[in-house]
Amino acid sequence: MANLKTVSKKSKAQSMGMHTEVLTGRTQQKFFNPDEAENFYYFGTYDVDFNKRTELDVKDMTAPEANKEIDNLMSQGYGTIVIKNPQGKHSLGVGILNKLNLIFEGSLGYFGMGSCDGPIVRINGRVGWSCAENLMAGKVVIEKNAGSCFGAAIRGGDLICKGSVGARTGIDMKGGTIIIGGDAGAFTGFMMQRGRIIILGDVGINLGDSMYDGTIFVGGEIGSYGSDAVDSELTPSDQDWLKRKLKVAEIGENFDVSKMKKIVAGKKLWNYDNLEPTEKKGAI
């Protein structure tokens, strides 16, 4: 490893081998085994037909009623459901562990699409705080703006906001990709552990504060760096990936990714290898 005291800040992370996103510490990552495929299923999931389409007006429904009705429609095989008049209600579309094409004709309140695994969702409006929290897989596209804690703790999937988002976007995220077409607020990527965040616009103060791992790409101005967030070199493979991702996400297809900044964890806060005091005693 290069002497970190003499290298520039930009190349510091690279010198430490930190741009690869490979966790070298304790990991709980498990890989799919086709021989055990029969064990991979969710209780209560349905075989749905994407060509079977219906509409659901939730204007006079509570969130639990609406979510129950979505589940009911999936049980009937509907694979494309259009939700009318969501009118900013909270917790709509939560807990969908199914392949589903879901379209909201309007805005959602807090916790929309939380704890989902698999659906493809398009929200033709705005979303409130904590949209798609804990998303495992699938794709959620928001046509307008989003509130704070956007994509908190997601583990997989693509989460796309074509407008601007609030503070703490991608807080504690453990995988997946978050793409922001506009600006992002303070503490973006706070304590993120894996995954990638792409912001085409400006971002607020304390970007990537206390991030363990993962990568943040920023197209605009950065308010300030958070603790242990450092610049890294934007490689040609990064640029290829960004172009592909932005194209698939239907956002910023013509954006000049070569000028984007890449931010990773400096990993000075890592203490994974430190023994607990009792363990230290035992070692002595």
Query: Which residues sit at the interface with another protein, rule CB under 8 A?
Result: 87-90, 106-107, 109-110, 125-126, 128-129, 144-148, 163-168, 183, 185-187, 204-205
User: Is the Cβ–Cβ distance between 252 and 246 less than 8 Å?
Assistant: yes
Residue 59: is it exposed, middle or buried by C-beta count within 10 angstroms (0-12/13-18/19+)?
A: exposed
Question: Smallest distance, Å, CB 222 to another protein?
Answer: 14
Q: How many other β-carbons are positioned within 10 Å of the β-carbon of residue 137?
A: 17
Supply the minimum distance, in Å, between the C-beta of residue 269 and another protein. 20
Q: How far is the CB of 168 from another protein (least distance, A)?
A: 8
- Cβ-based nearer residue to another protein, 98 or 107: 107
204 touches 223 (CB < 8 A): yes
Residue (114 or 175) nearer to another protein, CB:
114
CB-nearer residue toward another protein: 147 or 170: 147
- 222 and 242 in contact (C-beta within 8 Å)? no
Min. distance of Cβ 204 from another protein in angstroms?
6
Q: Which is nearer to another protein, 95 or 163 (CB)?
A: 163
* Of 95, 121, 124, nearest in space to 107 by CA: 124
Query: Do residues 217 and 197 touch, judged by C-beta distance below 8 A?
Result: yes
The Cα-based distances of 105 to 60, 64, 163, 170 in angstroms read: 15, 18, 17, 25
CA atoms within 13 A on the CB side of 19: 19
Taking the complex as a whole, the smallest distance from the CB of residue 75 to another protein amounts, in Å, to 29
- What number of CA atoms fall less than 13 Å from residue 7's CA on the CB side? 15
Nearer to another protein, 81 or 165 (CB): 165
Closest approach of another protein to the CB of residue 166, in Å? 4
**Distance of alpha carbon 81 from alpha carbon 221, whole angstroms:** 39
Minimum CB distance to another protein, residue 60 (Å):
12
- Of the pair 111, 217, the CB lying nearest another protein is at 111
Shortest distance, CB of residue 274 to another protein, whole angstroms?
29
Closer residue to another protein in complex, CB, 165/242: 165
**What totals of helices (H) and strands (E) does the chain contain, helices first?**
4, 11
Using the minimum distance from each CB to another protein, give the nearer residue, 73 or 167: 167
Beta bridge partners of 80: 53, 101
